[in-house]
Amino acid sequence: MIVAALAVCASATVPDAFGVGARWSGTGGGGVAVVDDGAAAMLNPAGLTGVERPTATVGWTSVLPQMRPVTPVWWDTNRDGAVDSADPPLAWDAGFEAIHGVQVQTARPLGGRAGIGLTAFVPTSTLIRFKTFEPSLPTYVMWDNRLQRYAATAGAAVEVLPGLSLGVSGDLLARARLQVAMTADVSAEITGTGDNLGDFVSDAVVDVHTIDLNVSPTLAPVFGLQWEVGRAFPALDGLRFGAAYHPEIGLPIEAALDIQANLSAAGIGAFEPFVGAAVAEATLALFDHYVPQRLSLGVGLSRSDTLTLYGEVRWTDWRRMTLNIARVQDALLTAPFLDIPPDAIRDGNAHAVLLRSVWSAQVGGELHLPEVPVSGKLQSIRGTIRAGFGYLPTPVVDQAVSSAFLDADRSQFAVGAGLAHWDPFSLVDGQIRYDLFFQANLLANTTLARTTETPLAGFPVDPAAGVPVGGAIWVLGGQWGFDY
């Protein structure tokens, strides 16, 4: 049996990395202590008790990476089985694809002390992408592929004591089972004689018997708490605390392969016709989406209906992260003409990387401008200005020379703006809101040392050069929402 372990490190979605919706993305992506709309289902489900009216929003988010270019590297580009000076340098692009997606939110209060909500992000190009990478080639392991998946969370909250709310939500994920059974029949017959002895007639038939893919949903729980301190201590009116916890979870994909190859040959001189078969069974363990356990702690301050400020720290435990690299753990090939002992098979993707748990910090806020009265059904127009900043250190501490995993500390700068007015057409009995945001996520410029005097796969052709690391990830979007 061939046993391979693969894991796709989609360890964060777009909302995880940049914020939920235009409002909270414009304040830096945090808000665990002050969130009070449909985004709470993902940020902190306890905040759903702050929803005052039924509300719904729909928006768009675009993530545009611009990473530093990688210098040409050595690779077996001429496919001769050796990496040497005869190979043309490989022009490798270590950047990752842009992501565009739709975000939706909805929430409503239940009585005066409870609320429910749902939020989702769906990329327009894909829901889930399975992708592994070659460890010796430069790759942004914390970014490439990890943003290429949907996110959907539904939750509920209740105020258990005056000012103290508890909430729980379910992060909708998926698990799958794949089974493939196939046979390949290859036959050859030599027909020539003398100088044409090499001429032969061959035939190959590939018969895929069954492919069975079963994808089923699963939920990861998210727990949240919010405390309005001023409800218990009036002198601290406007002060709020919040916390949210997301446990570690992996989404396994069990893949079972059963492959049989039949070979027949005739007309080989005085030899009798030959018939042989080889059978390979493979069991692969994949992770579509690895989510590390994380704990968010925040504090917020609100002044009437004008100013809201927050500060937040998040602990994320990356130490158990599984990278999206194909690895052979055990192998056995059954064939009457071939005998390969299991201990003779070695994994060609050997690598070693040291990851750590990290603390990140975010601050942000929003300022509601004075209402401007207008005539007609608009009643009034009110603008909002938002801004935020975050610092998120990389979890990559060290790695062996057999890999080139790229990442760096990230500084996140965010700005946003909003506009609200009443519905001029009287279709809904509430406000209509428009929100825009922009983020500049700057990765620190550094260099991964990878120098060699002799050609090695994945190493820069320039022996004095390392691999450039860093760049920018631009994120922008907007949303439209209404109360009803």
In this prediction, residues 340-346 reach a mean pLDDT of 62
Q: Give domain status of residue 371, yes or no.
A: no
Q: Give domain status of residue 405, yes or no.
A: no
Boundaries of domain holding 8: 2-68+92-366
For 35-44, 331-340, 389-398, 435-444, which range has the lowest pLDDT when averaged over its residues?
331-340
In this prediction, residues 49-57 reach a mean pLDDT of 95
What are the beta bridge partners of residue 458?
none
Of 24, 173, 14, nearest to 101 by C-alpha is 14
Q: Give domain status of residue 260, yes or no.
A: yes
Residue 200 has pLDDT above 60, yes or no: no
Residue 270 has pLDDT above 70, yes or no: no
In this prediction, residues 411-437 reach a mean pLDDT of 92
Output 146 or 300, whichever has higher pLDDT. Answer: 300
Reported as a pLDDT band with limits 50, 70 and 90, residue 269 is low
* Per-residue burial over 57-81, b = 16 or more CB atoms within 10 Å of its CB, e = otherwise: bebebebebebbebbebbbeeeeee
Q: What is the 3-state secondary structure (H, E, C) of 312-335?
A: EEEEEECCCCCCCCCEEEECCEEE
What are the beta bridge partners of residue 209?
none
Q: Give domain status of residue 461, yes or no.
A: no
For 117-131, 259-273, 349-363, which range has the lowest pLDDT when averaged over its residues?
259-273
In this prediction, residues 412-438 reach a mean pLDDT of 92
Q: Which residues contact 116 (CB under 8 A, 6 or more apart)?
A: 48, 107, 108, 110, 154, 155, 156, 157
- pLDDT tens digit sequence for 11-37: 478 999 999 999 999 999 999 999 999
Residue 87 has pLDDT above 60, yes or no: yes
Q: Are 268 and 261 in contact (CB under 8 A)?
A: no
Interatomic CA distance for residues 444 and 471, integer angstroms: 7
**What pLDDT does 374 receive?**
87
Q: Give domain status of residue 312, yes or no.
A: yes
Interatomic CA distance for residues 89 and 85, integer angstroms: 9
Interatomic CA distance for residues 25 and 40, integer angstroms: 13
State the DSSP H helix or E strand holding residue 15, giving kind and residue range, or none if neither. Answer: helix 14-18
At residue 114, what are phi and psi to the nearest 5 degrees?
-145, 165
How far, in Å, are 14, 213, 290, 322, 439 from residue 252 at the CA level?
21, 13, 9, 12, 33
**What pLDDT does 312 receive?**
97
Write down the pTM of the prediction.
0.84
Residue 105 has pLDDT above 90, yes or no: yes
Interatomic CA distance for residues 95 and 401, integer angstroms: 21
Interatomic CA distance for residues 130 and 94, integer angstroms: 18
Q: Give domain status of residue 392, yes or no.
A: no
In this prediction, residues 260-266 reach a mean pLDDT of 77
**What pLDDT does 22 receive?**
95
**What pLDDT does 459 receive?**
92
Output 341 or 301, whichever has higher pLDDT. Answer: 301
Q: Are 112 and 380 in contact (CB under 8 A)?
A: no
For 35-49, 81-95, 174-188, 216-230, which range has the lowest pLDDT when averaged over its residues?
174-188
Q: Is 133 helix (H, G, I), strand (E, B) or coil?
A: coil
Interatomic CA distance for residues 267 and 293, integer angstroms: 64
In this prediction, residues 140-167 reach a mean pLDDT of 91
Interatomic CA distance for residues 3 and 19, integer angstroms: 38
Q: Give domain status of residue 229, yes or no.
A: yes
**What pLDDT does 326 receive?**
65
Q: Is 9 helix (H, G, I), strand (E, B) or coil?
A: coil
Reported as a pLDDT band with limits 50, 70 and 90, residue 378 is confident
In the chain, the number of structural domains is 1
**What pLDDT does 254 receive?**
72
Residue 190 has pLDDT above 70, yes or no: no
Reported as a pLDDT band with limits 50, 70 and 90, residue 9 is very low
Q: What CATH number is given to the structural domain containing 330?
A: 2.40.160
**What pLDDT does 237 receive?**
93
Interatomic CA distance for residues 222 and 168, integer angstroms: 6
How many C-beta atoms lie closer than 10 Å to residue 261's C-beta?
16
What are the beta bridge partners of residue 181?
210, 258
Break the chain down into helix, strand, coil percent, rounded to 5.
Answer: 5, 55, 35
Average pLDDT, the chain: 86
**What pLDDT does 83 receive?**
92
In this prediction, residues 415-421 reach a mean pLDDT of 96
**What pLDDT does 289 receive?**
65
Residue 346 has pLDDT above 70, yes or no: no
Interatomic CA distance for residues 400 and 403, integer angstroms: 6
Reported as a pLDDT band with limits 50, 70 and 90, residue 234 is very high
For 131-140, 176-185, 206-215, 322-331, which range has the lowest pLDDT when averaged over its residues?
322-331
Looking at the chain, the whole-number percentage of residues with pLDDT higher than 70 is 86
Interatomic CA distance for residues 101 and 95, integer angstroms: 19
State the DSSP H helix or E strand holding residue 366, giving kind and residue range, or none if neither. Answer: strand 357-368
Q: Give domain status of residue 156, yes or no.
A: yes
Q: Is 24 helix (H, G, I), strand (E, B) or coil?
A: helix
**What pLDDT does 2 receive?**
39
Helices and strands (DSSP H and E) totals, the chain: 3, 22
Tell me, what DSSP letter sits at residue 210?
A: E
Cβ burial of 20 (10 Å; 0-12, 13-18, 19+) is buried
Tokens 């943003």, residue located: 147
Residue 395 has pLDDT above 50, yes or no: yes
